[in-house]
Chain A
Amino acid sequence: MSHSLEKRSESDRGGEKMTQRVDNSSDSDSEEEPITEEELAKLKEEVEEKKKLIATLRNKPWKMKKKLSVLKEAQLFVEKFEGALGKGKGKKFYAYKVMMTKKWMKFQRDFENFKTACIPWEMKIKEIESHFGSSVASYFIFLRWMYGINMILFGLTFGLVMVPEALMGKPYGSLPRKTVPRAEEASAMNFATLWDFSGFAQYSVLFYGYYNNQRTIGWLKFRMPLSYFLVGVGTIGYSFMIVIRTMARNANEDGGGDDTSFNFSWKMFTSWDYLIGNPETADNKFASITTSFKEAIVEEQESRKEENIHLTRFLRVLANFLALCTLAGSGYLIFFVVRRSQKFALEGLENYGWWERNEVNMVMSLLGMFCPTLFDVISSLENYHPRIALRWQLGRIFALFLGNLYTFIIALMDEINLKLEEEKIVKYNMSIWEASLYNGTIPENSTAPPIEVDPADVPRGPCWETMVGQEFVRLTVSDTMTTYITILIGDFLRAVFVRFFNYCWCWDLEYGFPSYSEFDISGNVLGLIFNQGMIWMGSFYAPCLPAINVFRLHTSMYLQCWAVMCCNVPQERVFKASRSNNFYMAMLLFILFLSTLPAVYTIVSIPPSFDCGPFSLSIYYLNATSKSYKEANLELKKKLQSQAEENKRRNKQKAQKSNEQEENPFETEPPQTKQKGKQDESTPNQDNKKGQGDNEAKKTDQPQEASSSQAFQHPGPAPNGHYALQTRGGNLPPPSIAVTRPPGPRGYGMLGYPPGNPRFPGAQPGMPRGPPNYR
């Protein structure tokens, strides 16, 4: 009934204001006069209000009973004064919207749960954080982050380098570089040898030397050397990118979320997580809240301390000066010791006793033991907030460890130079050995059928790249062992001793000396960073390094988590770690930069070994050909010079003769004194002269030819043609060559046109010119 009334009212009033659901008092209308517009508007407003109330009722902070009664009342009101039209639709749409919102929130929550579940060791770290504070936990978070990076590096090296070579490359034993030499065969599978990463392990995909320099391998035509090189570049590039990206992200967070205006209030009212239902989690949470409060209290007390600015500043300057002196002293000591050891090595180590042999290692270890403690003592002068003091400590020990790095690299370079010397000798021996194989039956070696030789018997070059890789692997392994043993002895045995011998000891072991150890954040962080530097440096030469490091980090996480919870006590002054790890990141970036330098230097300036690795012969070959071209060029220049001088001399003689004879000066060609190297037109006038010149040219050609064919193999005719064209000597204007003559036929398809060659200054008379014949 109200419906029909509605329609009538709409049509009656033209419906300007009543475009929506019209509200009309249905009951009263049928009998009384139509309501005025103001009252209608007011009524409409009220209905709208009620509807809004219903929609937001759940947000009201009333008791449920009250809400229910208000709801009922409002619904009745709305129903009374509103038409059926539109009401139902609105409600349905709203319900649909609510349902979708809920589904979306559920999906988001599930996704967040999944993402969090993927992060490993979260519970372990939370436990450590609750007991030891955020600074110790920051080390473990850093460790976990490094583990992630190493997983990616491992994926790259394993998937793109090791696996293709293992599956598609030539198998073990087929090439000399892939086989254990006969001399080492007996001990190749011993555990001691394998532990040292020689023997069977050395001649496997783990190291650089195993890889063949074949351009493509297998049915996939996988380009192994290219892949090897790109993976090497890619690991460094990826590491740079991720470190910088993390630094940027941390910088953002730091700037944004460091609001400390309500620090304590928020801790008080928002730190308890109402979702916790597990008793153990609750225990951890209580511990963590307590620690967090203690940290905040320390911060507050620090900021309240009154400072005597001048004294503090003076003390800090003094402390920095002392630290610098220590660093300079240890730097000089390291330098001195390394020089001495190089001298000893030259004179032969047999003449010296144990100390001289191990001097470098001992000095490094002693420095590593005493200097950090010294820095600790110095830092007590400075009176910094513990977080800042930690940073200074880290920075100083970092500078000290750089000395370590320096000695290691120097030692490595010495070894490489030794190996390069050895290589020359081996190459010389190889030619003798090959000759002995043939027993001198065939004079030239180009067309003889190859004699079958077991790859294990072929004399081997001392592959310096594999040696470098082995050094890095050994260093990593020994580093790992040292860390684990230090933890077990230094922390665990000490804790056991303090705990159980306390009953029968004179003084209280737990409070006095030695007591339980605290977790050494700076030492561990630096160890981690330097270890990663080693990995970056060595992974080009030993593709197995990231794999070893992944394993090491994995075990390290478990061992150290256990050791911390079991043997360590929290520091006395628990301080909050900085929210970002940017300080660690900065050091990591610096080490990354430093580690790329040696690798790049060795790749660029030291020639690769001739018989091992994916780059054997290729760069060397290019090197060799370019060198030979240079040599040939120089020879030619000399030739031209000497020819020009010859011509000059002859012309002079001729001129003298003609002056003496006073004959027709135009019988023979007037002496044309042209400078050498001028490229004029040339027409051969005198055949005999030309013949002379040709003969001479041919004569001078031979030694040139011989030398050039030694350096690289050209097919016969082409160079001859060249050189004959070049020098036409005699009276003719000196070398005016290929300008008017087309260059001789070149041997296309031969390997002698390395890219970049035409840049030589000798790209002039006679040198193979024209478009470089790139492969």
Chain B
Amino acid sequence: MGNKQTIFTDEQLDAYQDCTFFTRKEILRLHGRYHEMAPNVVPMDYTKDPDVKLPMQLIINMPELKENPFRERIVESFSEDGEGSLSFNDFVDMFSVLSEMAPRELKAIYAFKIYDFNTDNFICKSDLEKTLNKLTREELTAEEITLVCEKVIEEADMDGDGKLGFADFENMISKAPDFLSTFHIRI
């Protein structure tokens, strides 16, 4: 139980364990990953809670996120300032939500945030189009895109406002068989 680490105090580690789904070892490993992205900026000693943020460009080049079409949106959803720069707290939070142990409801909340491109708390038609284009790398024709977006709204929109609110989204995603296994990053 490595008492010899000096990166965090024991209370800090306990607190992190309570607030995330990670164990002590994993939190320390996460710190290592965070540090190696920018060794000059990220201090090894976090006992004093330094205020260090890494820009989005660095984060989205991580091997785990590099191939993901939604990487920018993911980082933006977890960043405190909304611009995409993550402190270590946000970093840990992000991977905790995306880990295997996180429950469905929590993941649904963040998934909704990720797919809401214009951050208006609704997934409207333009959000859907953007999602679809990212997924297919723009290989579908315009009418195919329209057809798909119409179908999605038709399927999931319960309150009839022509866009998906969080309730609609949650209702739809809770029945999806693949959601938990695909909305998962291992670090």
Residues of A participating in the B interface, judged by any CB pair closer than 8 Å:
54, 57-61, 63-65, 67-68, 71-72, 98-99, 101-102, 105, 109, 257, 259, 261-266, 268-279, 281-282, 286, 289-290, 293-294, 296-297, 300
- What chain A residues lie within 8 Å of B110 (beta carbons)? 61
Whether A271 contacts B80 by the Cβ 8 Å rule is: no
Q: Say whether, besides A63-B90, A274-B185, A297-B144, A102 and B152 are in contact (CB < 8 Å).
A: no
- What chain A residues lie within 8 Å of B111 (beta carbons)? 269
Please, could you name 30 A-B residue pairs with CB atoms under 8 Å apart, sorted by A?
A57-B18, A58-B19, A61-B109, A64-B19, A65-B89, A68-B19, A261-B155, A261-B175, A262-B172, A264-B152, A265-B152, A266-B176, A268-B132, A269-B115, A272-B68, A273-B181, A274-B68, A274-B98, A274-B185, A276-B67, A276-B68, A279-B67, A282-B67, A286-B135, A289-B136, A293-B132, A293-B144, A294-B140, A297-B144, A300-B151
With CB as the reference atom, state the residue of chain A lying closest to B110: A61
Whether B15 contacts A68 by the Cβ 8 Å rule is: yes
Interface centre among B87, B96, B111, B172 (most CB of A within 10 A): B172
Whether B15 contacts A71 by the Cβ 8 Å rule is: yes
Q: Say whether, besides A57-B19, A67-B19, A293-B148, A270 and B155 are in contact (CB < 8 Å).
A: no
CB distance from B156 to the nearest CB of A (A): 5
Whether B23 contacts A300 by the Cβ 8 Å rule is: no
Cβ 8 A contact of A270, one of B92, B151, B182: B182
Give Cα A72 to B9, complex, Å.
Answer: 14
Whether A264 contacts B93 by the Cβ 8 Å rule is: no
Give Cα A67 to B156, complex, Å.
Answer: 32
B41 within 8 A of A: no
Q: Say whether, besides A263-B155, A268-B132, A270-B179, A277 and B18 are in contact (CB < 8 Å).
A: no
Whether B80 contacts A270 by the Cβ 8 Å rule is: no
CB distance from B132 to the nearest CB of A (A): 6
Whether A265 contacts B68 by the Cβ 8 Å rule is: no
Whether B148 contacts A264 by the Cβ 8 Å rule is: yes
- What chain B residues lie within 8 Å of A57 (beta carbons)? 18-19
- What chain A residues lie within 8 Å of B181 (beta carbons)? 273
Whether A277 contacts B64 by the Cβ 8 Å rule is: yes
Whether B89 contacts A293 by the Cβ 8 Å rule is: no
Give Cα A273 to B70, complex, Å.
Answer: 11
Whether A99 contacts B173 by the Cβ 8 Å rule is: no
Given contacts A271-B135, A279-B67, 6 further A-B contacts (CB under 8 A): A68-B89, A266-B176, A275-B184, A286-B135, A286-B137, A297-B148
Cβ 8 A contact of A262, one of B87, B155, B186: B155
- Chain B interface size range: 35 or more
- What chain B residues lie within 8 Å of A263 (beta carbons)? 151, 155
Cβ 8 A contact of A268, one of B18, B68, B152: B152
With CB as the reference atom, state the residue of chain B lying closest to A257: B177
- What chain A residues lie within 8 Å of B105 (beta carbons)? 59
B101 within 8 A of A: yes
Q: Would you list which residues of chain B between 118 and 172 have a CB under 8 Å from chain A?
A: 128, 131-132, 135-137, 139-140, 144, 147-148, 151-152, 155-156, 169, 172
Give Cα A72 to B15, complex, Å.
Answer: 8
CB distance from A756 to the nearest CB of B (A): 59
Give Cα A264 to B19, complex, Å.
Answer: 35
- What chain B residues lie within 8 Å of A265 (beta carbons)? 152, 155-156, 172, 176
Whether A272 contacts B23 by the Cβ 8 Å rule is: no
CB distance from A38 to the nearest CB of B (A): 31
Q: Say whether, besides A105-B101, A270-B179, A275-B185, A63 and B147 are in contact (CB < 8 Å).
A: no
Cβ 8 A contact of A278, one of B67, B80, B101, B132: B67
With CB as the reference atom, state the residue of chain B lying closest to A60: B106
- What chain A residues lie within 8 Å of B144 (beta carbons)? 293-294, 297
Whether A71 contacts B135 by the Cβ 8 Å rule is: no
Give Cα A54 to B17, complex, Å.
Answer: 11
CB distance from B91 to the nearest CB of A (A): 9
Whether B135 contacts A289 by the Cβ 8 Å rule is: yes
Q: Say whether, besides A54-B18, A59-B106, A300-B151, A270 and B176 are in contact (CB < 8 Å).
A: yes
Q: Would you list which residues of chain B between 15 and 38 have a CB under 8 Å from chain A?
A: 15, 18-21, 23
With CB as the reference atom, state the residue of chain B lying closest to A61: B109
Whether A264 contacts B155 by the Cβ 8 Å rule is: yes
Give Cα A275 to B176, complex, Å.
Answer: 18
- What chain B residues lie within 8 Å of A58 (beta carbons)? 18-21, 96
Give Cα A101 to B169, complex, Å.
Answer: 29
CB distance from B109 to the nearest CB of A (A): 5
Q: Would you list which residues of chain B between 96 and 112 have a CB under 8 Å from chain A?
A: 96, 98, 100-103, 105-106, 109-111
Whether B184 contacts A266 by the Cβ 8 Å rule is: no
- What chain B residues lie within 8 Å of A294 (beta carbons)? 140, 144
CB distance from B85 to the nearest CB of A (A): 13
Give Cα A431 to B132, complex, Å.
Answer: 86
Give Cα A274 to B115, complex, Å.
Answer: 14
Give Cα A264 to B96, complex, Å.
Answer: 28
- What chain B residues lie within 8 Å of A268 (beta carbons)? 128, 131-132, 135, 148, 152
CB distance from B22 to the nearest CB of A (A): 9
Q: Say whether, besides A268-B128, A279-B67, A274 and B23 are in contact (CB < 8 Å).
A: no
Give Cα A68 to B80, complex, Å.
Answer: 14
Give Cα A104 to B92, complex, Å.
Answer: 23
CB distance from B117 to the nearest CB of A (A): 13
- What chain B residues lie within 8 Å of A63 (beta carbons)? 80, 89-90, 93
Give Cα A286 to B98, complex, Å.
Answer: 21
Whether A277 contacts B63 by the Cβ 8 Å rule is: yes
- What chain B residues lie within 8 Å of A54 (beta carbons)? 18
Give Cα A63 to B23, complex, Å.
Answer: 19
Give Cα A707 to B96, complex, Å.
Answer: 95
Give Cα A109 to B148, complex, Å.
Answer: 34
Whether B184 contacts A274 by the Cβ 8 Å rule is: yes
With CB as the reference atom, state the residue of chain A lying closest to B180: A270
Give Cα A296 to B20, complex, Å.
Answer: 39
Give Cα A98 to B183, complex, Å.
Answer: 22
Interface centre among A265, A296, A300 (most CB of B within 10 A): A265
